[in-house]
Amino acid sequence: MTPSDGRAAWRRLADAIRAFVPDLTPDTADGLVAGMAPMTRTVIRGHLSRHPDALVTGSPLAPPAVQRLIRHLHDTGVAGVRVPDCPRCGRTRPLKHATTQGRVCRGCEGTLAAHRNPGICGACGETRPRPDGTTCRRCRARATAAHRTCTQCGKPADLDPCHTCRPRPLVVCALCGTRATCCARWPLGPVCKPCYRGTRSNPGPCPGCGTVRALIAVLDHRRTCAECAGHRDPYRCRRCGDTRRTRVRGLCDRCAVDDRLAALFDPLPAAAAAELRPLREALASSDRPAAVLAWLQLSASAPLLGRLAATGRPLGHDDLDTATGTAPTATVDYLRKILVTAAVLPPRDEHLTRVARHLDRLLARHPEHALLLRPWVRWSVLPRMRRRAADRGPTAAQAARAAYTRIDTAAAFLSWTGRHGMLLEQVTQDHVDRWLTEGASTRYELRDFLTWTNRHDRSRGLDVPVRTKKPVAPLDDHSHWELLQQCLHDDELPTAVRVAGAVVLLFGQRLTRIAALTTDHLVEAPEPRLILDRIPIHVPPMLGVLLNTLANTAVRTGWALPPTGQRWLFPGTHPGEHRSAPTLRCDLKAHGIKVLPARATALVHLAQDLPPAVLADLLGMHPVTANRWRQRASTDWAAYLQTRRGQTPGPR
């Protein structure tokens, strides 16, 4: 080729580059072509002959030489060029590995390599992708990690250092200008982790199209969305176009939930699918699809639901009780709460069931105690819990734990008498006293069992002393009033802490009752009232405002199903449950409110002004307990006289 032919070929290549980039001047195009290597000019010329618009379409089919040219034009500020994005993940990165959809980035190249060549793994026998042709990726990594550890953290790893300990390159953030670890490379440049989180969590209206999106590009010295700058938005759902968070192969959380629900419910028999339709609809329409997706992906209760429904039988509580033999009890209980919340299963008092289940496990180890323990639990312990549930709502977990303690204590006492060769009818009061003094104070819980056996002539007149509780010292009036004012008027405290603290300081309620309050306990008209037992009680106007605010803003902290019936004022992390009393106690203690002294002060003040019968009806306590608080609040003249007797007379 003569020099004139070479210059003509360079001119034709420069014209091909300028054909769709009018802002590029002829001199600049000539300089670009002159600075290219011969092989680079050949590759670019061949690709532009087949795809003349490759510089402006952002096609992932462009070879690396064309990509470098496009990136150079984009970095120098030439308008109209578009850097190609990875067709698989949507990120703007160098694309090298060629696929049927175009070239992909290095990360997707490794993912595709790990998913090809499916077959039977030679190590585990499962049908999985085999990158090396013999074993799957998991078995290969396990075999490699067995002989190699990371020198940084010491954990088994196939690389040294491992992926977690390997340092990332430091770059200058395009937003804040600090030199930090690169978290993402956007069209506007590399960004650090704080800027990445701030941009993703605070999308704004794009000045070009007006759509609220993550502004990750720059056009005309203004931050815009990726599409206005000629790039593909990597955070836009490729199915529905939503700009919410995408986590599963370019899909938003809601589209990913739809796919997961289809994979879980579509293979089920028609009867099972119809039975579980309320649960599927509730999950699909949840306002927190990220929580639903996390449950479908990570929870062990979702596969358990699929296995139980695949049998084709109507799902009931008995099926879940049977599943406790093959699955952890916590997993089964969590699935039961989900089904009850979605109205698939009828509600059941689980505390009563757990007490009966605990008795069965205990009698399986000690069958010789069944003749005494089973009728006692059936006709004394469980009816008392049922009456409490009928009078005061769902049985509290504290009552179930107390029942566990009484049952275990009775079984331990019967085992002790058996080791000494005695029947219960032969036990004397001396034996009972000796057994009480030899162990922990929880042995005094035997009183309930011996009272029942005495009443039914199963034992002699045995008695267990009642353990008296040391009275709690109340708060002084100044501290009590200051805490109450802080709960009513301090806007820096959480609303839940303000409401719970105010109810404790005003009405002396137990935290078990406060945690179980629902929106049905609020009466707004004509004045704000709160129902603690059966009678609405007038509350201060500020507390009424706080109660309404808490009812309107109470957020489910851990689950995504919408409430089907009553709404808790203090919702918990599990479906259909309110916050536990110990958790609420810790929250109050963290903000300086000690529950027992505050409750004692409130009840003493109320007992001074109200008769015991009225106090019991308003607060839902037993009349005997209300009378005891009345006696405690009564004026103690003996203490006054003792104080006067100890004083020394002053000068006259």
Contacting residues for 182 by C-beta, under 8 A, at least 6 apart: 168, 169, 170, 171, 190, 191, 192
* Residue 240 token pair: 């529905």
Q: Is the pLDDT of residue 8 over 50?
A: yes
**How far apart are the C-alpha atoms of 271 and 199, rounded to whole Å?**
47
Q: Is the pLDDT of residue 5 over 70?
A: no
Q: Is the pLDDT of residue 75 over 70?
A: yes
Lowest mean pLDDT among 93-102, 272-281, 630-639: 630-639
pLDDT for position 411: 93
Give exposure, 587-612, as e/b (b: 16+ Cβ within 10 Å): bbeebebbbebbbbbbbbbbbeebeb
Nearest to 350 by CA among 384, 310, 389: 389
pLDDT for position 366: 92
Return left, alpha or beta for 249; rule: phi > 0 is left, psi -120 to 50 is alpha, else beta: left
pLDDT for position 85: 87
**How far apart are the C-alpha atoms of 548 and 554, rounded to whole Å?**
10
**How far apart are the C-alpha atoms of 312 and 296, rounded to whole Å?**
21
Q: Are 85 and 91 in contact (CB under 8 A)?
A: yes
38-50 vs 3-18: helix axis angle to the nearest 10?
50
Q: Count CB atoms within 10 A of the CB of residue 275.
A: 18
From residue 10, alpha-carbon distances to 13, 24, 62, 66, 144 in Å are 5, 16, 20, 16, 52
- H-helix segments, 490-528: 495-507, 511-515
Q: Is the pLDDT of residue 157 over 80?
A: no
**Residue 202 C-beta-side C-alpha neighbours within 13 Å:** 6
- Run of H or E including 181: strand 179-181
pLDDT for position 501: 92
Higher-confidence position of 534 and 446: 446
Q: How does residue 644 score in pLDDT terms, banded at 50, 70 and 90?
A: very low
Nearest to 531 by CA among 618, 621, 625, 626: 618
Higher-confidence position of 126 and 596: 596
Q: Are 259 and 251 in contact (CB under 8 A)?
A: yes
Length of the chain: 652
Q: Count CB atoms within 10 A of the CB of residue 570.
A: 22
Q: How does residue 158 score in pLDDT terms, banded at 50, 70 and 90?
A: low
Lowest mean pLDDT among 57-66, 135-144, 580-589, 635-644: 635-644
Mean pLDDT of 294-319: 87
pLDDT for position 35: 83
Lowest mean pLDDT among 27-36, 236-245, 397-406, 422-431: 236-245
Mean pLDDT of 620-634: 83
Per residue, what are the HEC states of 240-283?
Answer: CCCCCCEEECCEEHHHHHHHHHHHHHCCCCHHHHHHCHHHHHHH
In degrees and rounded to multiples of 5, residue 152 shows phi and psi of -90, -50
Q: How does residue 646 score in pLDDT terms, banded at 50, 70 and 90?
A: low
Q: How does residue 396 score in pLDDT terms, banded at 50, 70 and 90?
A: low
Higher-confidence position of 368 and 8: 368
Torsion (CA) 586, 588, 594, 595 in degrees, nearest 10? -90
Torsion (CA) 205, 208, 210, 212 in degrees, nearest 10? -40
In degrees and rounded to multiples of 5, residue 190 shows phi and psi of -70, 145
Return the DSSP state at 563. P
Torsion (CA) 245, 248, 253, 256 in degrees, nearest 10? 160
pLDDT for position 368: 92
Q: Is the pLDDT of residue 637 over 50?
A: no
- H-helix segments, 554-633: 581-590, 595-609, 612-619, 623-633
Residue reference for tokens 């957020």: 555
Mean pLDDT of 624-647: 64
From residue 556, alpha-carbon distances to 287, 512, 587 in Å are 11, 19, 17
**High-pLDDT (> 90) share of the chain, %:** 13
**How far apart are the C-alpha atoms of 344 and 336, rounded to whole Å?**
9
pLDDT for position 641: 46
Q: Is the pLDDT of residue 86 over 90?
A: no
**How far apart are the C-alpha atoms of 579 and 180, rounded to whole Å?**
41
Q: How does residue 648 score in pLDDT terms, banded at 50, 70 and 90?
A: very low
Q: Is the pLDDT of residue 392 over 70?
A: no
| Residue 127 exposed, middle or buried by CB count within 10 Å (0-12, 13-18, 19+) | exposed
Find how far residue 232's CA is from the centre of its chain: 32
pLDDT in tens, 544-587: 888 888 888 765 544 555 554 567 888 877 777 788 888 899 99
Return left, alpha or beta for 584; rule: phi > 0 is left, psi -120 to 50 is alpha, else beta: alpha
Q: Are 225 and 214 in contact (CB under 8 A)?
A: yes
pLDDT for position 634: 75
Query: Which sequence spans correspond to the domains of the chain?
Result: 3-83, 170-236, 254-341, 350-455, 477-633
Q: How does residue 24 score in pLDDT terms, banded at 50, 70 and 90?
A: confident
If you average pLDDT over every residue of the chain, what do you get? 83
Domain spanning 477-633 has what CATH number?
1.10.443
pLDDT in tens, 169-206: 788 999 999 998 888 888 888 999 999 988 887 888 89
Give the three-class secondary structure for 165: coil
* Peptide bond between residue 278 and the one before it cis (omega within 30 degrees of 0): no
Q: Are 152 and 162 in contact (CB under 8 A)?
A: yes
pLDDT for position 395: 52
pLDDT for position 559: 55
pLDDT for position 640: 41
